[in-house]
Amino acid sequence: METIKQLFISLSDADPASIDWAATFEELPGWDSMRAVNFQIELESQFGVDLSDVDSIGSLNLSTLADLLRSKGTSLDN
């Protein structure tokens, strides 16, 4: 899950120490629709998956996103 965290941090203005990873992405500081699109594109590129069937990445939190990626056959680093 560290890769997901790093992708989010790289696309946001949030202080990594202030991020509550139990929150949904849309509840995290710096989240907006453009970041949502960029985050989804980066996730698809990084993990080689198609997330077009996901209604809203923002409604997921770190754990549920990791579960979704695993369900699509992705092996996460942790």
Report how far residue 50's alpha carbon sits from residue 64's, in angstroms, rounded to the nearest whole number.
16
Q: Please write the tens of the pLDDT for every residue from 25-71.
A: 999 877 888 999 999 999 999 999 999 988 889 999 999 999 999 99
Q: Please write the tens of the pLDDT for every residue from 7-33.
A: 988 888 788 888 899 999 999 877 888
Rounded to two decimals, what is the model's pTM? 0.87
DSSP letter at 59? G
Report how far residue 71's alpha carbon sits from residue 26's, in angstroms, rounded to the nearest whole number.
22
